[in-house]
A and B are shown apart, each in its own frame.
Chain A
């Protein structure tokens, strides 16, 4: 498959300006509930952009607006320089919806062929792409089985494959890891990284923070339909070391209790793990050596995205519960 091409210099991959969306509520639908407020962001070419937020924060609504499934109340969107109403960008994008459902009377191969027809791909290319993609997502062995016999994870893998059928320049993925086992997640992570290597842009929403931390060049953080922050992870989280994690051995617990700058200590059999404030590291090392102990490791601990989010979400317990931290 070819490298991404046709990007106009200075034109972002995705530009969202002052986007707002509300839905009717109440018996007669006369009231409106605002789910996106004045959202503006830019996604550059060839970056992996993570769109993060708790359930109900507006991630899927944003993606549906970007894909033309919902109409915004206000604001504008351009994708690859084309407005949403234009058909041009649709040939150059792929989309995986959240909890996808595909026609269960079709086989995976038939479904991909159908998708290829919508892109007006010739039959030989459709067959070749379908074969390659099913191989990539690990469904080659079940390509001829009706989708009604697919597990949730297999459907999700097919969802990834259909999003790539047109070899898109931008791929929009709504919760791509949902329903996948560890092997499936590893596979999807690799596909996302491979897309970036090949010059593609990936915009994906997730509430699994570890995925965002390992994959994303930049992230946007969304809360209750409002954009909290956009930027590189190191910009958002800061590079400051929160504390140092020092693992030692051969020292009595009573000695450690008297050490200044030790925030916490945890016994690990014959060893201790100490959370040490950065300025106090020298004095702690000297004290341990003076007591006849050994320094086994020193590891700087920075703020994780998860910690950042909990801090930002403080006061909103319901939001915290929505986070899939177990994932």
Chain B
């Protein structure tokens, strides 16, 4: 992809970001702000150590949950809505290729999630500061890993939206996220269901993305260290997985008849 291609991807990404801003996706930040304010007020009676743990727990969980909801429900609609309303028809008749369009959509929602996560992170640090907790730089490592997980969810949502209806794509993406959170259960499936063939268990375990890899919330809440090596491995895992999923999605989209 040359500079022209990159500038077109950037144009699609910027427009996708603008869409989420104007469609009021960031309203979820208000809910987050209310939750953080309430938690700050309610925790006032607890000891500093308890406050710190509960606010971190709640804040990180909010960043995770709000991010997942945005990644799935906006992710599946990004391309599907364009297909349904045919708004991409005049665009694809221009020098914009389908790959560039697909990648631009991914990048745009990635930007939206980045801003969302960044604002929530700032809110979380602010809440911790109001209860006089010391700033914990390890939280940034955990939030970075959460963000990588969200990008993976967006790529899955995009892929599925090119294959099936919006509702089905949202449902399947959600199932994959839930299954990926319980990958240990899949690995130990034969303990409770010995009839399931081992190859199927192995295939499911490796095919479904392991979202537990992106979850450092407990370590952070309990004050355990988050080694940089672990973050490096998670980054590599996310990059490879996202690359494969986007590659398959772009390939499907490339050969699709736009009726």
Known: A97-B86, A103-B15, A120-B7. A69 touches B258 (CB 8 A): yes
A198 to chain B, nearest CB (A): 20
Which of B81-96 touch A at CB < 8 Å? 85-87, 89-96
Residues of A with C-beta under 8 A to B7 = 117, 120
Interface residues of A, count at CB 8 A:
32
A101, B85: Cα distance in complex, Å: 6
Known: A67-B89, A97-B89, A101-B86. A118 touches B94 (CB 8 A): yes
- Whether B255 and A95, one on each chain, are in contact in the complex, defined by CB atoms closer than 8 angstroms, is no
Q: Is A209 an interface residue (CB 8 A)?
A: no
Mask: chain B, 233-259; 1 = CB below 8 Å from A; 0 = not: 000000000000000000000010111
- Whether B95 and A163, one on each chain, are in contact in the complex, defined by CB atoms closer than 8 angstroms, is no
Among A71, A101, A118, A162, contact of B11 (Cβ-Cβ < 8 Å)? A118
A318, B85: Cα distance in complex, Å: 28
Q: How many A-B residue pairs have CB under 8 A?
A: 79
Residues of B with C-beta under 8 A to A100 = 86, 89-90
Which of B8, B19, B85, B257 lies at the interface centre, i.e. has the most chain A CB atoms within 10 A of its CB?
B257
Known: A23-B259, A71-B257. A114 touches B90 (CB 8 A): no
Residues of B with C-beta under 8 A to A117 = 7-8, 11
Q: Is A308 an interface residue (CB 8 A)?
A: no
Mask: chain B, 1-36; 1 = CB below 8 Å from A; 0 = not: 000100110010001001100110000000000000
- Whether A70 and B258, one on each chain, are in contact in the complex, defined by CB atoms closer than 8 angstroms, is yes
Residues of B with C-beta under 8 A to A95 = 89-90, 93-94
A313, B259: Cα distance in complex, Å: 27
Q: Is B97 an interface residue (CB 8 A)?
A: yes
A117, B12: Cα distance in complex, Å: 9
A70 to chain B, nearest CB (A): 5
A15 to chain B, nearest CB (A): 18
B7 to chain A, nearest CB (A): 6
B22 to chain A, nearest CB (A): 4
- Whether B11 and A114, one on each chain, are in contact in the complex, defined by CB atoms closer than 8 angstroms, is yes
Question: In this complex, what residue of A is CB-closest to B16?
Answer: A103
A108, B147: Cα distance in complex, Å: 34
Residues of B with C-beta under 8 A to A102 = 87, 90
B112 to chain A, nearest CB (A): 14
Mask: chain A, 116-152; 1 = CB below 8 Å from B; 0 = not: 0111100000000000000000000000000000000
Known: A117-B8, A120-B4. A68 touches B15 (CB 8 A): no
Which of the 9-residue segments A1-9, A86-94, A225-233, A249-257 touches chain B? A86-94
Q: Is A299 an interface residue (CB 8 A)?
A: no
- Whether A69 and B19, one on each chain, are in contact in the complex, defined by CB atoms closer than 8 angstroms, is no
Residues of A with C-beta under 8 A to B257 = 23, 69-71
Residues of A with C-beta under 8 A to B87 = 101-103
A68, B90: Cα distance in complex, Å: 11
- Whether A105 and B255, one on each chain, are in contact in the complex, defined by CB atoms closer than 8 angstroms, is no
Residues of A with C-beta under 8 A to B86 = 97, 99-101
Residues of B with C-beta under 8 A to A103 = 15, 19, 87
- Whether A69 and B15, one on each chain, are in contact in the complex, defined by CB atoms closer than 8 angstroms, is no
B214 to chain A, nearest CB (A): 31
B258 to chain A, nearest CB (A): 4
Which of A68, A87, A115, A118 lies at the interface centre, i.e. has the most chain B CB atoms within 10 A of its CB?
A118
- Whether A162 and B93, one on each chain, are in contact in the complex, defined by CB atoms closer than 8 angstroms, is no
- Whether A118 and B95, one on each chain, are in contact in the complex, defined by CB atoms closer than 8 angstroms, is yes
A213 to chain B, nearest CB (A): 27
A282, B50: Cα distance in complex, Å: 112
Q: Is A159 an interface residue (CB 8 A)?
A: yes
Residues of B with C-beta under 8 A to A36 = none
- Whether B255 and A71, one on each chain, are in contact in the complex, defined by CB atoms closer than 8 angstroms, is yes
B21 to chain A, nearest CB (A): 9
- Whether B22 and A96, one on each chain, are in contact in the complex, defined by CB atoms closer than 8 angstroms, is no
Question: In this complex, what residue of B is CB-closest to A166?
Answer: B94
A97, B7: Cα distance in complex, Å: 24
Q: Is A273 an interface residue (CB 8 A)?
A: no
- Whether A105 and B18, one on each chain, are in contact in the complex, defined by CB atoms closer than 8 angstroms, is yes
- Whether A96 and B8, one on each chain, are in contact in the complex, defined by CB atoms closer than 8 angstroms, is no
B210 to chain A, nearest CB (A): 35
Top-10 shortest CB links A-B: A95-B93, A117-B11, A105-B22, A67-B93, A69-B258, A97-B89, A101-B85, A90-B95, A118-B94, A118-B96
Q: Which residues of chain A have a CB within 8 Å of any CB of chain B? A: 23, 64, 67-71, 87, 90-91, 93, 95-97, 99-103, 105-106, 114-115, 117-120, 159, 162-163, 166, 172
Q: Which residues of chain B have a CB within 8 Å of any CB of chain A? A: 4, 7-8, 11, 15, 18-19, 22-23, 85-87, 89-97, 255, 257-259
Given A101-B86, A119-B94, 6 more pairs with CB closer than 8 A: A67-B92, A70-B259, A97-B89, A114-B11, A120-B4, A162-B90
